[in-house]
Structure 1
Amino acid sequence: MGVLSGGVYGVDPTSQRCENSAQCENQLTDGAMTINPAGGLGLFNFGLLDTHFSERDREVRLIAATASSGQSFGFGVDETTALMVDAKAPFENVSFTVLGEGGVFIVDMSKGKEDITHSRNGSKRIIAGEASYLPANSSGQITLGELKLTLESLEKPASFKRNEQGKWRQESGNLCRSKGMIRWQNGGNIHVLQPSEASRFHKLRYCAYSKVPFVIYD
């Protein structure tokens, strides 16, 4: 069961030492995800953050958490990669740059939506928004709630082996070849990437892209 079926909850996770469900607090369904609604250290107030990202196929996890938390943006930072942020008062405006060997995945839910329907067969969830994957030297801005991105070329882009890539990065690599709709199934969910006129692509040793509309449903 995937995170779309399991759900996202603002509670403490169930203890790994919990063996008897009758004695466990916060007993959750398989595939459920927990988040801290209050956030972390308060150093980054422009969206959710996740790490060790594309290698562990965490795109859908970040999308679901961003949508359920009511945040507009989520940022997933790859291993050996950094997101350098320049934020000055007023904090409605921020700029950032990607540094390192990997990239940063960005989910934009500012104009997206999440719908949940219930029936006797259970609940169904659908999430729609925009996704981007920026390589090093790329940059972006959030100005008055609007995300603007610039894809940049690398002289020596990182090379990811197939077994080091999550399913999302493997499948989204087809975007740079076809620039058309990509659809795949994984973890009980259907994923659809449908480029628009605003979408941009840059073929490195992997596919970098910006502002690609997505739909995920279970």
Structure 2
Amino acid sequence: MSRPRIRVRGLRLLVIACDGRDARHLEQQFRRLGVEGRFYDDLPDEQSCEDADMVLFDGDSPVLSHPDRELTWPALPLIVLTGVEAPSRLQWIIRQAPSAYLRKPVRFDGVMTALTLARAAADQRQGLEARIERLEERLRIRRFLFSAQLLLMKTFDLGEDDAYALLRSLAMNQQKTVEHFSLDLLARPEGYLRLAKDLIG
């Protein structure tokens, strides 16, 4: 298992709705860490988000957390800066689904930890989403596996287990998953059934 990357130099952050003192302290820490921070009073437009790596926003800002406003964040890891622990404020922060948090007031320590955790959470989420996508694809084409298995059973008068073993052997010969090979078999049965016959012997 690979170790998470503990490296933040070169990251590009959108910093949103942070007040003057916290913004100044963040700028100092960003310079120390080699991070580029772009500061906005409110959510920037889509074009400003295109080359950014993550977003840091002030979770206590009335600009962002107005009750009549529904926020649409860019598809980037979020870090929330917060100093208020009121339940309603925490519930609002939870709804924004941040990957990490940073306590107010911004100090010398904590910034690298927040950046590292947000980056690791984003990497984990991407890996999980990719795995889910692969599993969903396999489920979608699983029904074709059963159809291919039935075709082999009928063509060669095989039992269910023998038909599956044959299907798996054919897939291995083609260096494909059983599911993807099943699609090929159903699309072009003549050639693959000849191969199956040769395997049966």
TM-score, normalised with respect to structure 2: 0.26
More helix by share: 2
Larger Rg: 2
TM-score, normalised with respect to structure 1: 0.24
More strand by share: 1
